[in-house]
A and B are shown apart, each in its own frame.
Chain A
Amino acid sequence: MLTQYMVVSALLIAIGATGVMIRRNFMIVLMSLEIMINGAGLLLITMSYYIGNVSGQVMFLFVAAVAASETAVGLAIAVMMYKRKKSVDINDFSILRK
C-alpha cells in the first residue's frame, strides 16, 4: 500500500511541477502549484500513518492553511495582473528582466 501512495504523491508533484514550468496561463500555474502542495501533503499523511506518528498529519493541517492563504494571495495578484494588461499570460509580465 505504501508504495502506491508514494507513487501517487510523486506523480502529483511531478505533474504540478511540469504544469508550473510549461504553462503560461497564470491561473493554470496556480492550480499546478496547488497540485504540488497536495502531493506533498499526501506524502506527509502517508508517512505519518505508516510511522504511527501523528505529527505529520498535524503538519498537513498547517500546509493546507498555508496553501489556502497562498491561493488567496495568488488570485489577488492574478486579478491585479488582469486589470493592468487585460491578460493572465505570465510571459507578458517579464518586467523583472529590465
Chain B
Amino acid sequence: MKVILLFIVLTPLIGFLINGIFGKWTKPVAGIIAASALGISFILGLFPIWSVLHGHIVEFTYFTWMPFKGLEVPFGLRVDYVSAVMLFVVTFVSWMIHIYSNGYMAGDRGYARYFAYLNLFVTAMLILVLGNNYLLMFVGWEGVGLASYLLIGFWYEKDTAADAGEKAFVVNRIGDAGFIIGILFLIYHFGSVTYSNVFPRAEEVLGYGSTAATIIGLALFVGAVGKSAQFPLYIWLTDAMEGPTPVSSLIHAATMVTAGVYMVARSNAIYSLAPVAQEVVASVGAFTAFYAATMALTHKDIKRILAYSTLSQLGYMFIGVGVGAYWTGMFHLMTHAFFKGLLFLGAGAVMHSMRGLLSIDLMGNLKKYMPQTAILMVIASLAISGIPPFAGFFSKDAILASALEMGHPIIWIVGEVTAFLTAFYMFRFVFNVFYGEEKVEGLYHDLHTHEAPPVMTIPMWVLGILSIVGGWVGIKFGGHIPFEWFVTHTAPTTEVAHEAHYSEALLMGISVTMGLSGILAAWLIYIKKIITADKIANMFKPIYTLLANTYYVDEFVYCCIVKPFWWVSTNFLWKIVDVILIDKGMVDGAGWIAGRVGRGLRLLQTGFVNNYAYWISMGIIILSGWYLVKII
C-alpha cells in the first residue's frame, strides 16, 4: 500500500517528465501517454479508497523533508475520509478530461507541451490533496497555481492569454500570503504542521472561540479566497477562460478552484473552534454565490457564463463548509466537479465545431447538429439548477438545509434566490445555444458544424451519467445519509447549541420550486418570447449596464490599485530607489570605495624584496609581542 500510494502521485509526474522532456518525439502519442498515466493513477487510487471505506485510514511517511529543531516536516501521504473523496474526484475527472483533450487539442502545435502541463497539474493537485501536513499542501497549492498559470497562458502568442495567466498568478499570490501566515501561526501554536499532530490537540491548544483560532481560520481562508476565487479575489477566474476549454473544465471548474473548500473542510478542527471565522467563510460564500450569479445573467460569452457560474457554485460550497456542515461542502464539490466539468466540456465541444466562436448571439438550435452535446448540456444544466433526481439537487439542498438548521436564515434566503438565478442563467444559455431558431442564417453550413468525435463525447457521457447518479449518495438510506456518514468520520459537523429543525420536504419543495421557476422564466423569455430580453434590459437599464460591465470591478481595481501601484513603482521605486539609491549609491559606491582603498594599498607594493622582508619581520614581532603580553 505504501508504494501504491506513492505511485498515485508519481505516475502523472512520470507522464509529465516523458512529455516534458521528450515532447518533440512523443508528440503523436503524448495524449495517450498522459491519459494512461491518469488512468493508472485512478486505478491505483481505488486501493486506498477501498481501504478507507473499510474504516482504515491510510497514512505513510516516506522521509523527513525538513528536519528543524522543534519542527519536523515529514513527506507523508494520507488518505482519510475527506481526502478519499478528493482523490476520487481529482483522478477520475482528470482522467476523463485527459481523454477528451485528445480530441479537443488534436492538431495543436503545443500538443505534447499541453499534456505535460496537464500531468504536472494533476501531480501538484494530488500532492495538495494527499499530503499529510500543511506545508506539503502548500507545495501542491503552489504547484497547481503554477500549472494553472502555464495553462491559462498556453496560447502565449495571444497577448490576452499571457496577461490572463499573469493576472491569475498575481491575484493568487495575495491569497497565498494569507495561507503562509496561517501556517506560520499553526507552527507557532502547535510546533507542527502534520494533521495528525494538529487536529487532535486543536481544542486543548487553542480553545473554543479563542483569538488564535480565529486568526488561523481567517488567514487560511484568505488563501482559500484566492485559490477558490471568492469575492474579492475572484477577478482572475473569468480571465482564466483564455486557456484551452478542457483546462477551464479541469482546473478552473472541477478541481483546482475547489482546493480552498477542501482546505477548509480539512481544517474543520480549527474552524469548529472559531465561530467568527466560520461566519466570515459562510458570508463570503453566500455573497459570492449571489453576486457571481447576477453577473452570469448578462454575459454572452459561453465560457464566461460558465466561469461566473463556477464562482457562484464555489460560493455555495463555502456556505456549506462555513456553517459547519463540512460534508455538504464536500458533497457539492464532488457533484459540481461532475456537472460543471461536463458543462465546460460541452462548451468546448460547441467551440470545437463552431471554430472557436463563443457568443450565444451567433448560436441557436444547435441540437439539430450536435444532438448528443445538447442532451448532455441539458442534463448538466438540470443538475446545476437543482432539479431532482440530478446530482446538484442533493448537494445544493443539503447545503441550504444545513445553513438553515445551523441558524443562518439570511444565508438560506440568499442561497434560494441564487438557486433561482442559477436555473435562469443556465437555461438562458441552453435555450439560446441549443434550442430556438438559428440566429445567423447559413453560419453552421459555412462552419461545417457537426457533432464532436467519440473521443470527446464518451468522457462527456461518463460525466453526464455521474451528473445524474452522483448525487444519489446523498439520499437518506437506513436513517442516515451515506455521504454524510462517510465524510463526518474526518470532518464532523460543528455542533451548535440551538439546532433548528424544519420539514425536509418543505425545504426540498422550496428549492425545487426555485429551480423550476428559473427554468420557466428562461423558457418564457427565450423560447416563448412573451417579452424579449432586450426589452427587460432596457427596462432596467442602469442595472443591466452595471451587470454587463461586471460591476466595474476590473476598472475599479485598475484605477485604485494597479495605477497607483504603477505610479509609485515608476516614480519612487524606479527613479529614486533603484536609480539613485541602488545603482548610484550601492553598486557604483561599492566600486568607488574599492578603487579608493586599492589606490591607498598600492603604495605598500614597492617591489623591493627587502621591504617585503621588513614587513614580514615586523608582523612576526608584533604578533609575538602580542602573545607575549597575553601570556604575561
Chain A contact residues, CB within 8 Å of chain B: 17, 20-24, 29, 90-91, 93-98
Contact = CB atoms under 8 A, between A and B. Distances in A.
B631 interface: no
Contact of A22 (B605, B606, B607, B610): B610
A29 B613 CA distance: 10
Contacts of A21: 610, 613-614, 617
The A interface, classified by DSSP as helix, strand, loop or mixed, is helix
B609 interface: yes
Interface of B: 605-610, 613-614, 617
A97 B605 contact: yes
Contact of B613 (A20, A94, A97, A98): A20
A3 B605 CA distance: 39
A93 to B, nearest CB: 7
B607 A98 contact: yes
A94 B608 contact: yes
Contacts, number: 29
A94 B610 CA distance: 11
A91 B617 CA distance: 19
A29 B607 CA distance: 16
Nearest to B609: A90
A21 B613 CA distance: 6
A96 B605 contact: yes
A97 B602 CA distance: 9
A91 B613 contact: no
A88 B148 CA distance: 77
Nearest to A18: B617
A17 B617 contact: yes
Contacts of B607: 94-98
A17 B606 CA distance: 19
A93 B617 contact: no
Sorted nearest first, the 8 A-B pairs with minimum C-beta distance are A97-B607, A94-B607, A90-B609, A20-B613, A96-B607, A21-B614, A21-B613, A17-B617
A22 B613 CA distance: 9
Contact of A29 (B605, B609, B614): B609
Contacts of B608: 90-91, 94
Contacts of B605: 96-97
A21 B610 CA distance: 5
Most chain-A Cβ atoms within 10 A of its Cβ — which of B606, B607, B609, B610? B609
A24 B606 contact: no
Contacts of B613: 17, 20-21
A23 B614 CA distance: 12
Contact of A94 (B606, B614, B617): B606
Contacts of A98: 607
A82 to B, nearest CB: 16
B600 to A, nearest CB: 16
Contacts of B609: 29, 90, 93
A94 B614 CA distance: 15
27 contacts: A17-B613, A17-B617, A20-B613, A20-B617, A21-B610, A21-B613, A21-B614, A21-B617, A22-B610, A23-B610, A29-B609, A90-B608, A90-B609, A90-B610, A91-B608, A91-B610, A93-B609, A94-B606, A94-B607, A94-B608, A95-B607, A96-B605, A96-B607, A97-B605, A97-B606, A97-B607, A98-B607
Given A17-B617, A21-B617, 10 more contacts: A20-B610, A21-B614, A22-B610, A23-B610, A90-B610, A91-B608, A94-B607, A95-B607, A96-B605, A97-B605
A23 to B, nearest CB: 8
A34 to B, nearest CB: 14
A66 B548 CA distance: 93
A30 to B, nearest CB: 11
A95 B609 CA distance: 11
Contacts of A91: 608, 610
Contacts of A20: 610, 613, 617
B624 to A, nearest CB: 12
A94 B611 CA distance: 11
Contacts of B606: 94, 97
A24 B611 CA distance: 11
A98 B609 CA distance: 14
A15 to B, nearest CB: 13
A94 B612 CA distance: 11
